Amino acid sequence: MTIVVEKLDLGGGGRSVMVKDTIDVAGHPTRASSRALEEASDADCHAEVVQALLNAGCRLVGKTSLHELAFGTTGLNAWTGTPENPRYPGRIPGGSSSGSAAAVAAGLCDFSLGTDTGGSVRIPAACCGVFGLKPTFGRVSRAGVMPAQTSLDCVGPFAADIDTLIAAMAAIDPSFQALPAVAGIRIGVVPVAANPEVQAALDAALEASDFALHGAPLPGMQAAYDAGLAVINRETWNACGHLVETGLVGADVASRLLAAKGTTDAALANAEAIRAAFTAEVDAALASCPILALPTMPDYPARVVDAADTRAAIGMTAFVRPFNLTGHPALSIPFEGASKLPVGLQLVAAKGADELLLAVARELVRRLEQ
């Protein structure tokens, strides 16, 4: 199984960390698990988030594999090899930050960093049974992270427990504050169409958490999902489309890139209008309930043998991509369904309320462990 694409030994004696191979580490190439970047030059300097890790005393021990060019949700990669799902063998690790989630699930590091453009931290977190956070858009520096230009992508941490996730965020976000109190917090439950076992497991967890629960429909989610796909298609084509000409991009990603090339200016303008409308819709829901809850994924992770058609798997991101479009912080908490397979509970908070999001997640986990 290919989880680590390059071993490193940098930094202090603190928590051990691995980073997705879209994040620059000085003196090492950033290849994004793509043969088309096999001959990439070494990075001249650390990404700002890597420097933040080193400043916090962390030890950088490796770079992790990913779905090629971070453009896929399954984590399958024919060139580097697909990381095995350590806790759920035979199931996809999820993408695109597959190696970062698998590294934490396998106990290879204390925490890891991935990137999330359309669910690429939360999806693999749910698949591998670990915690994963997509911070508020723009809160964690992306300087030195591929792609350079994006209106969706966020660097975020994975960890096996909520306290380590919080510590990771404190290390990479200089503005991170002490977590607030959560007494009296209302959780808005977003109705979605999910596998009954997935929904039952998460309903039971929310009920047992003893938070006040209220319905919080978001009727614009499907339109926001479609709009998010249009934006990521245009932005990924702009960043990586030139690599198709090398003939070295994997067939699955190359076909998605060529399809993305056809994203029209009109489709993008429509997507931006939907972005504004859905952002207002989510903000209104959060004004009533400061935390929203819904499944991370509609179903259990697919078997690796069934997941070869990447385009067919895009629907895995139906519940996560809309919050990339809006920029709200969101995290995935690991649970299991009746079939002993992984499900994720996604919590969403207001922009900038990353501390509240983590505080509620910590309290929810604490209550369920009692």
User: DSSP character for 27?
Assistant: T
| Positions marked catalytic | 20, 96, 120
CA max distance for the chain: 56
Token pair of 43 as six digits? 């990075």
How many Å from the N-terminal Cα to the C-terminal Cα in the chain? Answer: 36
Report the side by side order of strands in the sheet with 291-295: 4-11, 59-64, 16-20, 111-116, 154-159, 131-134, 330-336, 342-349, 291-295, 186-189, 212-215
Among 8, 20, 24, 31, which residue's Cα sits nearest to residue 64?
20
Among 60, 67, 1, which residue's Cα sits nearest to residue 27?
60
Among 277, 280, 290, 281, which residue's Cα sits nearest to residue 350?
290
Residue 1: its H or E element: none
Task: Please report, as a single letter, which amino acid is at residue 289.
Answer: C
- Residue 275, helix vs strand vs coil: helix
